Structure 1
Amino acid sequence: MIFTEGILDPLDPVVPSLTERAVQVIRRAITTGDLIPGKLYSVHQLSKDLGVSRSPVRDALLRLEETGMVRFERNRGFRIVLPGARELAEIFGVRLALEVPAAAMAARRATDEQIAAMSEELESMRAAAADDDEPTFMLHDQQFHSGLLAAAGNEYARGVIDNIRIATRMVGTSTVKNQRSLAEVILEHEPILEAVAERDERAAISAMSRHLRHTGEMLVQRTSSPQQDPIDLVSLWWLFVPEGGLSGDAPGG
């Protein structure tokens, strides 16, 4: 079996599509470590473990292939792909392109209930940080960002970001402990929530851009090797870099 005993939950009956259910379970298996980057897996075995036919499982894997998380090998199976420094830089380019304008839209249209839900996720992050519980912290971090995208009103963007965040987590969960503390991550989220709650679109843009660029820079630095050519983040993120350069605090960045 591919899955560790007790890890695989039944396919969620609330989700009508078998393909979508399979996507959810595969994504969860990647985050729990049941599907290991680089290891060759069989579509047949995966469909057997999930208790569904090969067709929806293959369709689910094709969706994840589009995000760069899965690579098929002809007549052999598939592998989970671990992103390198260049891929991470491009991933954060996508996040900047989607989440920065989404922050402004959320500041414009978020309901009081949506803002309260984001606030609850931030409080849960604080509680997890106090317990030094990084996995729970990262779950609520993801739900914070997902809630903001929901408030912006773009469910497709929300799904895209949920997928590519899994890809970044595969490189070592997060930037915490090695490069910054959980408390420091919270400090980057607080101004995002404050800007949305105060309906300040420019501040929301600045806070989200600063947070994503800081996280992206650290992950790229962490995964870069001395043998590879330097990655030009200014070129990749050109729309979101203030005149002062990366990690600046200029308006709009």
Structure 2
Amino acid sequence: MAQEARDTDMPALPRLDGRRSSYRERVADALRAALTAGELRPGQVYSAPSLAARFGVSATPVREAMLDLAKEGLVDTVPNKGFRVTAVTDRQLDEYTHIRALVEVPTVVELARTADRVSLEALRPAAREIVTAAAAGDLVAYMEADTRFHLGLLALAGNAHLVEVVADLRKRSRLYGLTALVEAGRLLPSAQEHLDLLDALLARDEKAVHEIMTRHLGHVRGLWASTG
């Protein structure tokens, strides 16, 4: 039976200063990153006050942000206790990965023909952040940079709905076991693929882009399977 997470079980979440957007939006983004990185664990119940203490804000924006995440299916409300992080099954992960491959691979291959060099190069800082975060074992920073890179890349196709669909799939298919991958030294090769992908796009090498994207998405599913 799931138990409520004690303060000592809580991850060291970043404190928020409110300089960008609202507390609610920033808390929601930080919570999604923590969920994706596995720092908020499936089955655990977290109270709004305990999360608020970690963020250095009041419980109200945290509670509102958690309600947003509940609408996305990432958490369930537990009356008088807080929010339970929902689990994702292997079948769901397979389905999400399959849809992503159907959508992302051909879209990114097309960008090898259509995306301008300036727009592609603008993504290099995010790709480097991914590598840096992987090397440092900073899972939240890794996932935040990874999201910016992939959604920024897809945005170059000019289809906002496609970006929205993939963003939703990424939220629902949170990566599990990233800590074990860091300890095994297997996260860095996956991170490096982002720079390899950019280089292939800039070289207009459609075959290489297809191979890297297919391998990258397959690698991600393999990470789920090997740590599940």
- The TM-score range, normalised by the shorter chain, is 0.5 to 0.7
TM-score when normalising by structure 1: 0.62
Match of 2:142 in 1: 138
Identity percentage of aligned residues: 28
Q: Any conservation in 2 of the 1:118–1:148 contact (CA below 8 Å)? A: yes
The TM-score with structure 2 as length reference comes to: 0.67
1:178: which partner in 2? 184
Q: Alignment length, in residue pairs? A: 214
Q: Is the 8 A contact 1:98 1:157 kept in 2?
A: no
Distance 1:43 1:195 in 2: 45
1:196 has 2:204 as partner? no
Amino acid at match of 1:80: V
Q: Is the 8 A contact 2:16 2:26 kept in 1?
A: no
Alignment of 1:14 with 2:20, yes or no, is yes
Q: Distance in 2 between matches of 1:42 and 1:126?
A: 33
Q: Conserved in 1, the CA contact under 8 Å of 2:38 and 2:177? A: no
Give the counterpart letter for 2:184 in structure 1.
Answer: N
Give the structure 2 partner of residue 25 of structure 1: 30
Alignment of 1:160 with 2:168, yes or no, is: yes
AA aligned to 2:91 is R
Where structure 1 has 5 or more consecutive residues not aligned to the other structure, the ranges are 224-253
What is the deviation of 1:213? 1.2
Report the AA paired with residue 69 of structure 1: L
2:58 is the alignment partner of 1:51:
yes
| Matching residue's letter, 1:208 | M
RMSD: 3.9
Q: Distance in 2 between matches of 1:189 and 1:171?
A: 20
Q: Is the 8 A contact 1:149 1:157 kept in 2?
A: no
SS of match in other structure, 1:152: coil
Deviations 1:31-74 (A, max 9, x none): 677744432233576578643646x844x334423544212235
Task: List alignment gaps of at least 5 residues for structure 2.
Answer: 1-5
> What SS is found at the alignment partner of 1:72?
strand
The one-letter code of the counterpart of 1:99 is: E
**Larger-gyration structure (1/2):** 1
Q: Distance in 2 between matches of 1:51 and 1:118?
A: 35
Match of 2:177, SS?
A: coil
Is 1:217 the counterpart of 2:228? The answer is no
State the alpha-carbon separation in 2 of the partners of residues 177 and 45 from structure 1: 28
By percentage of residues, which structure has more helix? 2
The question of whether the paired residues in 2 share the 8 Å contact of 1:107 and 1:204 is answered with yes
Give, in whole Å, the separation in 1 of the partners of 2:221 and 2:83: 27
**Letter of the 1:87 counterpart:** Q
Deviation at 1:206, TM superposition (A): 3.4
C-alpha deviations, 1:109-146, integer Å up to 9, x for none? 433232113333444455566xx423278354444323
Aligned to 2:3: none
Match of 2:85 among 80, 85, 107: 80
CA distance in 2, matches of 1:181, 1:172: 8
Worse-superposed segment, 209-218 or 79-88: 79-88
